[in-house]
C-alpha cells in the first residue's frame, strides 16, 4: 500500500492492539504516535502534560504526525485527541486514510480504569465522564473518518477481517 493507515478513536478503544494484529496480518509495519512522542521528547505523556500543559503536547503531536507521514505504507496508531486539530487531519489525509475504531463508554472504562497514563482522564475515571467526552468528540471522529469499525463484543480476528474487507472496497 502506498498510503498510511491512520488509526484513530477514543482512548482505550484498542488502537494499539488492532495496530499490532493488523500489522501481523498484512505485513505493514506499525508505529505508535504516542510512543514516538515519548521517545522524541524523552518524557512520558503524563509528564509532558504536567510540566508543559496540553497545548504544548498538542504542538508536539502535530510535529510528530508530520514527521510520521514522511514514510508510507505503515499503520500509525494515533492518540485519541490527534484529530481534534484541523491541521492534524490535513496532515493525516495527505499521507493516508483515516480508520476510526469505536466502542461504548462502558467498554472503554473497563479497559482504561486502572491506567495512570492518560492525563485527560486523570481525576475523571468514570463512565459518565468518558461518555460525556466521547459525545463531544464523536461528531469530529466520524466526520474525519474514511472507514469506521465498531469493536464492541468482537474478537480481534473479526476486527482485522472487517478492516481488510473495508480496505478492499
What residues have CB less than 8 Å from 142, skipping those under 6 apart? 100, 148
Options 85, 118, 140, 154; binder of ligand S3P; rule CB under 6 A: 118
92 is a contact residue toward ligand S3P (CB under 6 A)? no
Options 28, 120, 127, 166; binder of ligand S3P; rule CB under 6 A: 120
- How many distinct helices (H) and strands (E) make up the chain? 8, 5
Q: How far is CA 39 from CA 34, 76, 132, 160, in A?
A: 9, 15, 31, 28
81 is a contact residue toward ligand S3P (CB under 6 A)? yes
103 is a contact residue toward ligand S3P (CB under 6 A)? no
The position carrying cell 521528547 is: 41
Interface pattern 36-75 for ligand S3P (x via CB under 6 A):
---------x------------------------------
The SS3 of residue 102 is strand
Q: Which residue is nearest to ligand S3P (CB)?
A: 79
Amino acid at each position: 500500500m502506498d498510503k498510511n493507515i491512520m488509526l484513530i478513536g477514543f482512548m482505550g478503544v484498542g488502537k494499539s492492539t488492532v495496530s499490532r494484529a493488523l500489522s501481523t496480518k498484512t505485513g505493514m509495519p506499525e508505529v505508535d504516535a504516542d510512543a514516538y512522542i515519548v521517545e522524541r521528547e524523552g518524557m512520558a505523556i503524563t509528564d509532558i502534560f504536567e510540566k508543559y500543559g496540553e497545548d504544548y503536547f498538542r504542538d508536539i503531536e502535530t510535529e510528530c504526525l508530520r514527521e510520521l507521514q514522511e514514510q508510507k505504507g505503515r499503520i500509525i496508531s494515533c492518540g485519541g485527541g490527534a484529530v481534534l486539530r484541523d491541521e492534524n487531519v490535513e496532515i493525516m489525509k495527505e499521507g493516508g486514510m483515516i480508520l476510526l475504531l469505536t466502542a461504548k463508554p462502558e467498554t472503554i472504562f473497563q479497559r482504561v480504569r486502572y491506567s495512570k497514563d492518560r492525563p485527560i482522564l486523570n481525576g475523571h475515571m468514570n463512565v459518565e465522564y468518558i461518555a460525556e467526552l466521547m459525545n463531544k468528540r464523536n461528531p469530529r471522529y466520524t466526520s474525519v473518518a474514511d472507514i469506521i469499525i465498531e469493536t464492541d463484543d468482537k474478537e480481534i480476528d473479526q476486527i482485522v477481517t472487517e478492516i481488510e474487507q473495508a480496505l478492499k472496497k
